[in-house]
Amino acid sequence: RGLGDVYKRQLTATNLVIQGAGGSNRNAISAFDSTVWIDGAQILAGDYSPGSRTDAEYAVSLSHTAGGGGSLTLINTTIENARGGGIYVDARSVFQELKLDQVSITNTLTESPGSALRTAGQSTVTSAGLSILSAGNTAVYLAEGAHSLRGGSIMECEGGDGGAFYLAGGSELFVDAMTIDDCLANTGGLAYMPELARIELLNVRAVNVSATKAAGIYAKESQVEIRGGSYCGFDSRTGGAFQTDRELDISGATFQLIDGGVQSTSGGTLRFVNNTFVDLGNGTTRVVLEGDLSINLKGIPGVPRMIAGRIGPKVEKFIVSMITPNLKKTNTALGTWMDRR
């Protein structure tokens, strides 16, 4: 049973090895209303018993009793063969906090309702260097609360709705410099957001993502912001990288080999800003440069203050008209140089 149930205690452990824990009500680590801090753990989970409680099958769970609450910190920890799921946080009645630093979760089972990482209720999940490999279900399922994942990777995941991420209503997720590779889902290979939620992707590298609907992100009335990063090899059987009803902001990102195009299939609009590169096929790339030019003529000697405000927009328009052809020539020259290479 591993450490068994930790009730209303403060537990600190280092260089911990747990083998064979798993199955019905046999978590490797199960904490209730406790503060648990573990550095250097290797958890080799065991059997899986279908049909039992969700939290009972996870290798590690953080739960609570009436009026309780707690936190779980895992550092330099590996969880292998977690047949019923990796980490589960139950915060349906109280706030819970999960902190992960250099945690690796591998081989979660397809038939399980669990994920490599799953929360319920309002909690906060923060991670640095989280690595998930071979997730048989949605890799990361997050309920209410503000969550952040920095660095790390999610590879070889397969979910019904949401390959890499499933964001329930009221959840916010910030993802920074993470690699997502080979994720498959019925809807939303990269992320599935059926209710009001928010995701911000910063410098994310997503490769080989596929789904029946919305290969990239399915976001019904949810907020999506993409800044930087690269997105390559999206396969959607119904076309389109995104399915959203709202405006989706994209800046500084690169898109290549997107089946169905970089578009929304349900009425939402994509707003490309600030150095975005979109592969249009047939050897053509769209380069989007967008910014604001504001000229203050009131500080220039010889320009009357009374007319400075009126002629300012005309000067700005003139300067933009001079810059635009030069930028187009630069892109054309760059394309010619690349073709010759």
> Of 275, 312, 307, which Cα lies nearest the Cα of 294?
312
Enter the DSSP assignment of 208. E
> Of 119, 108, 113, which Cα lies nearest the Cα of 80?
108
245 compared with 148, residue with greater pLDDT:
148
Query: Which residue type does 163 have?
Result: G
pLDDT of residue 273: 64
pLDDT of residue 304: 74
Kindly state the average pLDDT of the residues 71-82.
92
Please say whether the beta carbons of 273 and 250 come within 8 A: yes
How many distinct helices (H) and strands (E) make up the chain?
1, 27
Enter the DSSP assignment of 240. -
170 CB burial (10 A radius; 0-12, 13-18, 19+): middle
| Structure-block tokens of residue 137 | 């279900």
Kindly state the average pLDDT of the residues 157-165.
88
Q: How far apart are CA 207 and CA 230, in angstroms?
A: 8
> Residues 252-278: pLDDT tens digits?
888 887 766 676 656 667 776 666 777
Helix (H) or strand (E) holding 312: helix 305-340
- Checking if the pLDDT of 113 tops 70, the result is no
- Checking if the pLDDT of 53 tops 50, the result is no
Please say whether the beta carbons of 173 and 167 come within 8 A: yes
Give strand pairing partners of 117.
87, 140
142 compared with 136, residue with greater pLDDT:
142
Q: How far apart are CA 140 and CA 124, in angstroms?
A: 13
- Checking if the pLDDT of 45 tops 50, the result is yes
Cα 191 to its chain centre, rounded Å, is 7
226 CB burial (10 A radius; 0-12, 13-18, 19+): buried
Query: Which 3 state secondary structure label does DSSP give 336?
Result: helix
> Which residue in this structure is represented by tokens 């945690």?
103
- Checking if the pLDDT of 158 tops 80, the result is yes
Q: Where are the beta strands (DSSP E) in 109-143?
A: 117-128, 131-135, 140-142
> Of 88, 13, 97, which Cα lies nearest the Cα of 45?
88
Enter the DSSP assignment of 264. B
> Which residue in this structure is represented by tokens 């969880």?
79
Q: How far apart are CA 12 and CA 94, in angstroms?
A: 22
Q: What is the mean pLDDT of the chain?
A: 82
Query: Which 3 state secondary structure label does DSSP give 196?
Result: coil
> Of 82, 114, 97, which Cα lies nearest the Cα of 37?
97
> Residues 164-186: pLDDT tens digits?
999 998 999 999 999 999 998 88
pLDDT of residue 331: 77
Query: Which 3 state secondary structure label does DSSP give 323?
Result: helix
Pick from 173-187, 219-233, 280-294, 321-335: least confident: 280-294
| Structure-block tokens of residue 334 | 């760059």
0.95 surpassed by pTM: no
Kindly state the average pLDDT of the residues 19-26.
63
Enter the DSSP assignment of 56. G
- Checking if the pLDDT of 47 tops 60, the result is no
Kindly state the average pLDDT of the residues 106-133.
85
Give the torsion sign (CA, 38, 44, 47, 49). positive
